[in-house]
Amino acid sequence: MIVKKTKNGISSVIAVLEENPVPFYYYILSFWSIILLRILIEIFTDTDAQKIITPGMVIHFSLFYIFLAIAGIIIFHHTTGIPTGKVSRVILPGFAIILLGPLFDLMISWGAGFNMSYLTPRLHGNLLYRFFAFGGPLGKHGGITPGMKIEVAVILLLSFAYFRIKKTGIIKSIVTAVILYCIIFACAVMPFIGKALLNAFNLEYKYSERLFINIYFLLILISIPYLFFLFNKTFFKEILKDIRIFRALHYELMFVLGIAVTAIVASKTIIFDTDNIFHFIFIPAAILFAGIAALITNNIEDKDIDRISNPNRPSVTKTIPHKDYALIAIVSMLLSCIYAAAAGYIMLFFVLIFSGNYFLFSMPPFRLKRVPILSKLLISGNSLMLVLAGYYYILRDFRDFPFSVTLLFIIGITAVVNFIDIKDYEGDKNAGILTLPVIAGIKNSKMIIGTAFFLVYVSTYFVFKNTYLLAGAAGTGFVQYLLVNRAKYNEKPVFIVYLISLFSIIIYIFIFYS
């Protein structure tokens, strides 16, 4: 009878949480409030910690619980088949359980508290024993406290109950509860994982809050795309199709080119340390997220043009409703800022300029894409901005950045990038957008753009002063001229030859200048 009443009570709570009509961000704010409350209580429970709250502590703990929430949502969805939206409405407020750990510690210790900590390589051994012993003994150096063990036990029991209520088989429910415990235990032994990760790159492990912040940022970055895929497969596929991979690769390679330029200036190449090994992932991720946000806002504003030139875009087909499409742009921009900031405020500054330039390019009131020359100057300027980001990533300074490279972008790339408007000629003409093809006509603009390609390739001689490289660059530039001026124009081959040549130049720099 008690078991039946308990089950009915849990079922009622789950039903209320799943069907509550309040906006989803209420659940997110509740989750965030719980995390902050847990941090505060833990400060007064942990006997080894200083009784202060630092920004690093708040970020570290927040990322820890955000990762666990994402992992929980994914696991619960796969186990029960319940949509991730409904699962999230149970899991996020369900994190109130994390308040039990420090509260039970205070009660068990009669207010004295216990020393909560990760299991660390220096202080804790025999992980296999500790796995089966629910963290093992606490010891004088801290570890998994009695309250934490009770907290985890409650999480596993309630998770098992949720699976059974959702008609999941008993064996599958048990196996999933064990998997959930494995993930929680993996987080408890994160110092061991961090040490193994750094040792794999021959880097010295040192216990630090910054290291764990980077690790959880990385885990969340890996998890987010899959969570989005589970949330709405149609939205995910439409965004993936619309990313325009060649443009995305261009901007990612601009960052790598900036790293390569440091080899020319200072004969210096990337040397990984415990911070920048993560930043080498975070910065490209920030660039990609910023690109997605810019792409969506541009699509929304260019909807009428795309009905003619690009009828398969989500803004035209409405496979993603306008409200959701705009929300994806906002979330992408937020993620871009977060991961740029994770690599330092200078990188955040670059990403904000990059995004701001694209806003000026695409959106009212300026909508500078309608202004000849200036519109392409913004695009070449954004490319240069990412080269500078790569340069700063290595040297932590902007001094001695080659003026020849700046000139190449401001003049050369500004002229060349007009090729992206050739395929949109009809749509731009209909909308009154004054691109080079609209002003000069298709035939003349192709000759101008093709010639610009050739001259830009040849002008790389002034950067490298290499006659052999000049011959190859001239040949590739002529190929680009021919591709641009084909009767049946196709943008893809132009992009492919450009990206291959850019990648080749980067490799050349690393080989001959490092």
pLDDT in tens, 311-349: 888 888 889 999 999 999 999 999 999 999 999 999 999
pLDDT bin (cut points 50, 70, 90) of residue 255 is: very high
What pLDDT was estimated at residue 266?
80
Average pLDDT, the chain: 90
- 128-173 pLDDT per residue, tens: 999 999 888 887 778 899 999 999 999 999 999 999 999 999 999 9
Q: What is the mean pLDDT of residues 249-257?
A: 95
379 and 292 together in one domain: yes
61 and 178 together in one domain: yes
pLDDT bin (cut points 50, 70, 90) of residue 54 is: confident
210 and 253 together in one domain: no
Q: What is the mean pLDDT of residues 247-265?
A: 93
CA distance 87 to 439: 54
Is the model more confident about 47 or about 384? 384
- 435-464 pLDDT per residue, tens: 888 899 999 999 999 999 999 999 988 888
CA-based radius of gyration for the chain: 27
Structural element, H or E, at residue 5: helix 2-19
What pLDDT was estimated at residue 50?
63
Would you tell me how many other CB atoms lie within 10 Å of the CB of residue 303?
Answer: 15
How many separate domains does the chain show? 2
Q: What is the DSSP string of 163-215?
A: HHHTT--HHHHHHHHHHHHHHHHHHHTHHHHHHHHHHHTT------HHHHHHH
Strand ranges (E), 70-192 = none
210 and 290 together in one domain: no
- 101-116 pLDDT per residue, tens: 999 999 998 888 888 8
Winning range, highest mean pLDDT, from 19-23, 27-31, 309-313 = 27-31
Where does 126-167 have alpha helices with state H?
127-132, 146-165
Q: How many residues does the chain have?
A: 514
388 and 490 together in one domain: yes
283 and 218 together in one domain: no
What pLDDT was estimated at residue 137?
86
139 and 281 together in one domain: no
CA distance 243 to 233: 15
pLDDT bin (cut points 50, 70, 90) of residue 512 is: confident
CA distance 11 to 158: 11
Q: Is the pLDDT of residue 363 over 80?
A: yes
Distances (CA, A) of 159 to 8, 88, 121: 15, 13, 30
Residue 359 in tokens: 């806003």
245 and 197 together in one domain: no
Q: Which domain holds residue 34?
A: 2-231
Least confident of 102-106, 212-216, 424-428: 424-428
Where a domain ends, among 206, 231, 256? 231
Question: Residue 303 maps to which CATH number?
Answer: 1.10.600
321 and 183 together in one domain: no
Residue 168 in tokens: 């999941």
Would you tell me how many other CB atoms lie within 10 Å of the CB of residue 467?
Answer: 8
pTM of the model: 0.92
pLDDT bin (cut points 50, 70, 90) of residue 375 is: confident
What pLDDT was estimated at residue 268?
67
Q: What is the mean pLDDT of residues 256-264?
A: 91
226 and 252 together in one domain: no
15 and 126 together in one domain: yes
57 and 94 together in one domain: yes
What pLDDT was estimated at residue 2?
62
Least confident of 85-89, 137-141, 376-380: 137-141
